[in-house]
Structure 1
């Protein structure tokens, strides 16, 4: 039986990192709970101090296909290579130089959003670019 899951990121700025992943993946920020028009309204009603409003964030695929991404604030910065990372398939159905061009174009777009290119790789007809999101988490475009 298939299980649903979410991917969780640690972050210094959950709201900003959520905006980045929304722009990269076409995701949207999760809606506030029923009965509230904004998250600020909900957090105020719950008595959460304003300095804690950016402790958590969640973004989801509006089509309900991809996993939810939950982002939680942590005090320490990222210090080592990820043991798990996202592979974002932007060149599906393309081969060779056409695929590489599509992946490079997407790397340029996400770099303008705050990502940093680490390196390019290719093997057995596949092509990918490794990047870091604005908080240093590695991911691949392929």
Structure 2
């Protein structure tokens, strides 16, 4: 897929794109996401940005995660810290949904929650409703997401 024609991207505001992309790259790696390589033959993004004349103080203005056939996730630097509840959040579908027995959902979700806590996420609250089990969590900057 030509990523330049991807139908949508999800944008996450952050005070530190470089740090937050590390968390989300680890969180979403099992789903095929990674930081894309820089264009051309550049060894890394700093080399590319320097060649484009971008001042070094702007190198952490943005970062991206991509996966074939999936929405691009774009992290953009903003001056303010998160101040309220997200109006949009990511769901990392680990339990399997209502067709999976609740005990198996709990086991699957618990394993994913443990993996994400090692990466820096924090558990907020556990839920079970309409035959589905999930946990609300926060990434290292406090953005809510569900597992």
TM-score normalised by the chain length of structure 1: 0.91
- Give the aligned partner of residue 3 of structure 2: none
**Alignment of structure 1 residues 58-73 onto 2, 5 Å:** 58-61=64-67, 64-73=68-77
**Alignment of structure 1 residues 93-112 onto 2, 5 Å:** 94-112=100-118
Report SS of the residue matched to 2:10.
Answer: strand
Q: 1:39 aligns with which of 45, 48, 53?
A: 45
1:16 pairs with 2:19: yes
**Cα displacement string for residues 79-123 of structure 1 (whole angstroms, at most 9, x for unaligned residues):** 000001011101226321111111011111101111111100011
Report SS of the residue matched to 1:71.
Answer: strand
Q: Report the CA distance between 1:21 and its aligned residue.
A: 0.9
* Alpha-carbon distance in structure 2 between the residues aligned to 1:106 and 1:9: 22
**Cα displacement string for residues 46-97 of structure 1 (whole angstroms, at most 9, x for unaligned residues):** 1112121111000111xx1321100000000000000010111012263211
Report SS of the residue matched to 2:91.
Answer: strand
* Alpha-carbon distance in structure 2 between the residues aligned to 1:95 and 1:125: 8
Report SS of the residue matched to 1:65.
Answer: coil
**Alignment of structure 1 residues 1-142 onto 2, 5 Å:** 4-26=7-29, 27-61=33-67, 64-92=68-96, 94-141=100-147
RMSD of aligned residue pairs (Cα, Å): 1.3
* Alpha-carbon distance in structure 1 between the residues aligned to 2:100 and 2:59: 42
Report SS of the residue matched to 1:76.
Answer: coil
Structure richer in strand, relative to its length: 1
TM-score normalised by the chain length of structure 2: 0.88
* Alpha-carbon distance in structure 2 between the residues aligned to 1:82 and 1:46: 34
Q: Which structure 1 segments of 5+ residues have no match?
A: none
